[in-house]
Structure 1
Amino acid sequence: MNMQIRHAIFGLASLAIGAGAAQAEQEIIFGISAATGSTQQQTAAEFARIMHEKLPGKVNVKVFDNSQLGKDEDMLQKVRLGTMHITLPSSTMPEIAAEYAIFDLPFMVADRAHLGRIDETLFKDVLVPKAEEKGYIPLAVWENGFRHITNNARPINTPADLNGLKIRTPNSSWRVAMFREYGSNPTPMGFSELFVALQTGVVDGQENPLSNIAGGKLNEVQKYLSMTNHVYTPAFPTMGKAVFERLDPEIQQALREAAQEAALWARDRGEQDDIELRDSLVAGGMEMNVADRAAFVEASKPLYEKFASEVENGQEMIDQVLSLAEGS
């Protein structure tokens, strides 16, 4: 553990985070699992910039990427306990509140305009309160991106092409169920372990947004890039409820505003990156194909039924999200 990280972690114990310490600079530790250069890391950096601009001399946001402060599950525990301030879970959120699995259902989000309407309604009205019940406060819906499949065996055109392949997934029970339904052998592991697992053949392939594929240099150990767009995965800048509520109200407001401003910045950036990253990955030697969307949608029906039956008001949530797609 380097000295900067050690100072960040152990310094939290002595930080005064209440309103009574408003005169001192507030250090805010922000840990993420995504790689340097990924959309998540760049958005976290933009968030830090906005916070410093809003409250110059009053806050110092320090971002630690590449799982320096632990895996997603570890960091969620740390923010809840108050040993760090903010983390950025994505596919692990359904483990906190089952309702977040709406984003793990395939082909639910049509585009980023659709995501914006989900943010303004379902996220604020349903998902945030559900997380608060478990001791967390998600501040916004950030860009992670539309997910695609890479592997070293063959192009993936239909779910049948996944038969027998070992596909790394995030530690998400819903993503595991999805890829099992598609006929593959899903293998959950942390993103920080993925490059070596692909390089050594522990897994045959994986699924991620283009930004994570490029940021993690997965193109160096993967041959085929199959454009599936099977899931749009948001990331949620998330704090522990107890820690957030002890912060100076001015900092609380700035955190919410900066998180939302960074969300809009990231969606605009994501639109541009989708094209640029795809082209750069292909130029770097990956073979690209566009998958058969209809075949994947048909194979996904059991997942919609599972969500509707297992999650409270699940069918209503599905219907609401689909209705919000109108006009996309």
Structure 2
Amino acid sequence: MTHSLLRRTLLATASAIVLMGALLLYPQQAQAQNKVLLRVSTPAVPDDWHAKMWTVFKDNLEKSAPGEFDVQINLNATLFKQGTEPTAMARGNLELSSISAFDIAKLVPEFSIFTAGYVITGPEHQQKVFNGPIGAEMFKAVAEKMDVTPLSTVYLGTRQINLRDPRNVKVPADLKGIKLRMPSSKEWLFLGEALGATATPLAFGEVYLGLKTGTIDGQDNPLPSVRAAKFYEVTKQIVLTSHLVDGIFIAISSKALNAMTPVQQQKVKAAAQAASGYNNENRLKEEGQLVDFFKQQGLQVTTPDVDAFRKSVQTTYQNSDYAKVWPKGLLERINATK
């Protein structure tokens, strides 16, 4: 053996010994390098169900694929600001987040059908639509146009109307003249007008005082939000119009998903389904308990002719510019999904 060959052999042996020593001293760091990194960014606060669901996602993956994934959960929009997640995922700077139909519709205009009133009729209908052929088609379009793949559908709540003074509300005409606070975007204001009210833009933080002073006559939100913001203190009625079934979608960067093995992809999808199922079950349970809570607070809780509202609102949308980007026959297919 020549001197140079002996020297290279000794160096290689020494390097192998150093590497082996590092693996023995720092096994966790070595193992982490081989794990699939999944960073989660969400604006959700810790106590909310759609924040807690990410722990379910992480635990589910740890059980089905122990040691394969490094799931890092970032709440309170600490990693990416709300609304910027889709771009971050498309660029490969973020693996997972939950995105809204409004976020998606900016780049996939036909998805705006899910921001319209009375298209989705309830939590069960929501799951059937998105877990069936319609969901598969729409999610495929999202993946193709956004480089983001939706994995499961998360129920956020059903929006109801909350009035300052009691009123007999059966059909949209009964809301004529009501100054109904809505979020300030044109899409939200259009929905308020479609419901028969006078849509009035107002920041969420000003709604309580607006109801108290009479600047507005009512507001719309899911029941958990009504309780959290204590709107029941300054209103006397809740009308269960159920005009918008709100949802978000657990989504993954297509780049990250495509880098996984088929088995890993299935395990990630199953974990996302488990996470959304956990959220949906608990949120529905909470909503179910709130009607009694509001009655105990002295509020009237009434149910209008929801079919009359649905027909009126859908007709208003179908005659608008919003419906022009909806695929032909899609609304009918959604309505027919049972």
- Find out whether 1:143 has 2:152 as its counterpart: no
- Please, which of 59, 64, 70 is the counterpart of residue 75 of structure 2? 64
Moved more, 126-135 or 42-51: 42-51
- Please, which of 126, 148, 155 is the counterpart of residue 115 of structure 1? 126
Cα distance in structure 2, aligned partners of 1:288 and 1:68: 38
Contact conserved, 2:190 with 2:199, CA < 8 A, in 1? no
Call closer, same or farther: CA 1:198–1:207 in 2, change over 3 Å: same
**Alignment partner, residue 302 of structure 1:** 316
Query: Counterpart of 1:254 in 2: which secondary structure?
Result: helix
Cα distance in structure 2, aligned partners of 1:170 and 1:23: 47
Cα distance in structure 2, aligned partners of 1:122 and 1:60: 30
Cα distance in structure 2, aligned partners of 1:113 and 1:30: 27
- Please, which of 44, 60, 74 is the counterpart of residue 54 of structure 2? 44
Q: In the TM superposition, what is the alpha-carbon distance from 1:241 to its structure 2 partner?
A: 2.7
**Alignment partner, residue 272 of structure 2:** 259
Cα distance in structure 2, aligned partners of 1:156 and 1:56: 57
Cα distance in structure 2, aligned partners of 1:116 and 1:43: 17
Call closer, same or farther: CA 1:289–1:87 in 2, change over 3 Å: same
Call closer, same or farther: CA 1:61–1:70 in 2, change over 3 Å: closer
Contact conserved, 1:156 with 1:162, CA < 8 A, in 2? no
Instruction: Give the residue type in structure 2 aligned to 1:43.
Output: M
Deviations 1:121-151 (A, max 9, x none): 2444321112112222111111123221224
- Find out whether 1:197 has 2:206 as its counterpart: yes
Instruction: Give structure 2 stretches of 5+ with no counterpart.
Output: 1-30
Cα distance in structure 2, aligned partners of 1:298 and 1:124: 23
Q: In the TM superposition, what is the alpha-carbon distance from 1:84 to its structure 2 partner?
A: 3.3
Cα distance in structure 2, aligned partners of 1:221 and 1:246: 53
Q: In the TM superposition, what is the alpha-carbon distance from 1:251 to its structure 2 partner?
A: 4.8
Matches within 5 A, 1:219-298: 219=232, 223-246=236-259, 251-284=264-297, 286-298=299-311
Contact conserved, 1:135 with 1:241, CA < 8 A, in 2? yes
Cα distance in structure 2, aligned partners of 1:214 and 1:123: 34
Call closer, same or farther: CA 1:307–1:52 in 2, change over 3 Å: farther
**Alignment partner, residue 164 of structure 2:** 152
Instruction: Give the residue type in structure 1 aligned to 2:254.
Output: K
- Find out whether 1:126 has 2:140 as its counterpart: no
Larger of the two Rg values belongs to structure: 2
Cα distance in structure 1, aligned partners of 2:167 and 2:282: 28
Cα distance in structure 1, aligned partners of 2:34 and 2:231: 45
**Alignment partner, residue 211 of structure 1:** 224
**Aligned-pair RMSD on alpha carbons?**
3.4
Cα distance in structure 1, aligned partners of 2:133 and 2:208: 40
Deviations 1:73-111 (A, max 9, x none): 233333333443322223413223223233233333344
Q: In the TM superposition, what is the alpha-carbon distance from 1:63 to its structure 2 partner?
A: 4.2
Where has structure 1 moved over 6 Å in runs of 4 or more? none
**Alignment partner, residue 96 of structure 1:** 107
Cα distance in structure 1, aligned partners of 2:153 and 2:113: 13
Query: Counterpart of 1:139 in 2: which secondary structure?
Result: strand
Cα distance in structure 2, aligned partners of 1:161 and 1:220: 21
- Find out whether 1:313 has 2:327 as its counterpart: yes
Query: Counterpart of 1:263 in 2: which secondary structure?
Result: helix
Contact conserved, 1:154 with 1:161, CA < 8 A, in 2? no
Instruction: Give structure 1 stretches of 5+ with no counterpart.
Output: 1-19
Contact conserved, 2:240 with 2:301, CA < 8 A, in 1? yes
Q: In the TM superposition, what is the alpha-carbon distance from 1:259 to its structure 2 partner?
A: 1.0
Call closer, same or farther: CA 1:215–1:90 in 2, change over 3 Å: farther
**Alignment partner, residue 106 of structure 1:** 117
Query: Counterpart of 2:320 in 1: which secondary structure?
Result: helix
Deviations 1:219-255 (A, max 9, x none): 4665542211112222111233334434566654332
**Alignment partner, residue 18 of structure 2:** none
